[in-house]
Structure 1
Amino acid sequence: MNRPEREAAVRRILEQTSAHVPPDLYGEAVRRGERLLRRRRLVHRVLWLLLFAAAVAFTVWAVSVRPWVEPPSQTTPPFIDW
């Protein structure tokens, strides 16, 4: 299809009457959009709550286990009587 044929096809499409939109389509789209926004907000809140809970759990674990402290050596016995 060359350029004049494409232009003629586009003109024919644009000159045709457009399809009628159902009257309740706008309301349905608004309801669906609001539902999607509420769901997205809920998912974001749950994810932030999970992130906060993970941070608290990690902090409690780190304070109780103290992984940054070197464990005592088990290879040599302690000196008792000097």
Structure 2
Amino acid sequence: MNRTEREAAVRRLLEQPPPQVPAELYGDAVRRGERMLRRRTAARRAMWLVLCAVAVVLAVWAATARPWVEPPSHTTPPVADW
């Protein structure tokens, strides 16, 4: 099937009237969509909660560990001329 045949087939499909949709399909689609939205909202809230918890833990760790301070030396410098 070359390009012109494909275009003609698509035009024939588009010129036909749309098929009838069963009445119960609408209700099923609405319920499924609402369920998907609830799940996405719950997932988004959970991710924000995890992100906030990580930020708090990082802030507490940085305040207690102070990683930017140079660690103390464990050896003493040699004493000369005493």
> Shared topology, TM-score over 0.5?
yes
The residue number in structure 1 matching 2:49 is: 49
Residue 19 of structure 1 and its aligned partner are, at CA, apart by: 3.1
RMSD: 2.7
Give the 3 Å change call, closer, same or farther, for CA 78–70 of structure 1 in structure 2: farther
Residue 78 of structure 1 and its aligned partner are, at CA, apart by: 9.1
The residue number in structure 2 matching 1:65 is: 65
Structure 1 CA distance for aligned equivalents of residues 47 and 59 of structure 2: 18
Structure 1 portions without partners, runs of 5+: none
**Percent of matched pairs sharing the same residue:** 53
**Residue identity opposite 1:3 in structure 2:** T
The residue number in structure 2 matching 1:3 is: 4
Normalising by structure 2, we get a TM-score of 0.74
Structure 2 portions without partners, runs of 5+: none
Total equivalences in the alignment: 77
Normalising by structure 1, we get a TM-score of 0.74
